[in-house]
A and B are shown apart, each in its own frame.
Chain A
Amino acid sequence: MATHFLGDTAVLLGRSLRHITRSVDTIITTTITPIAMMLLFVYVLGGAIDTGSVSYVNYLLPGILLITIASGIAYTALRLFLDMKGGIFERFQSMPIARSSVLWAHVLTSLVANAISLVVVVLVALLMGFRSGAGVLAWLAVAGILILFTLALTWIAVIPGLTAKSVDGAGGFAYPLIFLPFISSAFVPTDTMPGPVRAFADNQPVTSIVNAVRALFAQQPVGTDIWTALAWCVGILIVAYIFANNAYRRRIS
Chain B
Amino acid sequence: MTLRQPSILAVMSIPPATNQAQGPAIHVQGLEKSYKELRVLRGVDFDVARGSIFALLGSNGAGKTTVVKILSTLLKADAGTASVNGFDVATQPADVRESISLTGQFAAVDEILSGRENLVLVARLRHLKNPGTIADDLLERFSLTEAGARKVSTYSGGMRRRLDIAMSLIGNPPVIFLDEPTTGLDPQARIEVWQAVKELAEGGTTVLLTTQYLDEAEQLADRIAILHEGRIIVNGTLAKLKQLLPPAKVEYVEKQPTLEDVFLTLVGAGGKDGDADKGSHDHKTTSNKK
Contact = CB atoms under 8 A, between A and B. Distances in A.
Contact of A253 (B76, B109, B112): B76
Given A11-B121, A86-B111, A252-B74, A95 B126 contact: yes
A91 B108 contact: yes
A87 B106 contact: yes
A127 to B, nearest CB: 32
Interface in B71-100: 72-76, 94, 97-98, 100
Contacts of A19: 112
B109 A90 contact: no
Contacts of A138: none
A215 B113 CA distance: 43
Contacts of A18: 112-113, 117
B72 A94 contact: yes
Contact of A8 (B101, B107, B113, B125): B125
Contact of B73 (A1, A87, A94): A94
A15 interface: yes
Nearest to B127: A4
A87 B125 CA distance: 16
B110 interface: yes
B104 interface: yes
B172 to A, nearest CB: 13
B224 interface: no
Contacts of A253: 75-76
B108 A22 contact: no
Q: What size tier do the contact residues of chain A reach?
A: 20 to 34
The secondary structure that dominates the A interface is helix
B122 interface: yes
Contact of B74 (A15, A88, A94, A97): A94
Interface in A1-39: 1, 4, 7-8, 11-12, 15, 18-19, 22-23
A93 interface: yes
Nearest to A252: B74
A196 interface: no
Contacts of A88: 108-110
B94 A93 contact: no
A209 B105 CA distance: 46
A90 B102 contact: yes
A94 B177 CA distance: 11
B112 A96 contact: no
Interface residues of B, number: 31
Contact of B101 (A1, A92, A93, A94): A94
B34 to A, nearest CB: 15
B220 to A, nearest CB: 22
B167 interface: yes
A37 B125 CA distance: 42
B124 interface: yes
Given A4-B127, A11-B124, A18-B113, A91 B102 contact: yes
B112 A23 contact: yes
Nearest to A97: B125
A87 B184 CA distance: 16
B79 to A, nearest CB: 16
A22 B114 CA distance: 11
A133 to B, nearest CB: 42
Nearest to B75: A253
Residue among B113, B122, B125, B151 with max Cβ neighbours from chain A (10 Å): B125
A97 B73 CA distance: 13
A94 B176 CA distance: 11
Contacts of B106: 86-87
B52 to A, nearest CB: 21
Nearest to B69: A90
Contacts of A22: 112, 151
A88 B104 CA distance: 9
A87 B113 contact: no
A74 B112 CA distance: 19
A241 to B, nearest CB: 23
Give the interface centre of B108, B111, B113, B126 by most chain A CB atoms within 10 Å: B108
A88 B167 CA distance: 11
Interface string B49-82: 0000000000000000000010011111000000
Interface of A: 1, 4, 7-8, 11-12, 15, 18-19, 22-23, 86-88, 90-97, 252-253
5 contacts: A15-B113, A18-B117, A22-B151, A86-B111, A253-B76
Interface of B: 69, 72-76, 94, 97-98, 100-102, 104-113, 117, 121-122, 124-127, 151, 167
Closest 4 CB pairs of A and B: A87-B108, A91-B108, A87-B106, A94-B102
Given A8-B125, A96-B126, 16 more contacts: A4-B127, A11-B121, A15-B110, A19-B112, A23-B112, A86-B109, A87-B106, A87-B108, A88-B110, A90-B104, A91-B104, A93-B74, A95-B101, A95-B122, A95-B126, A96-B127
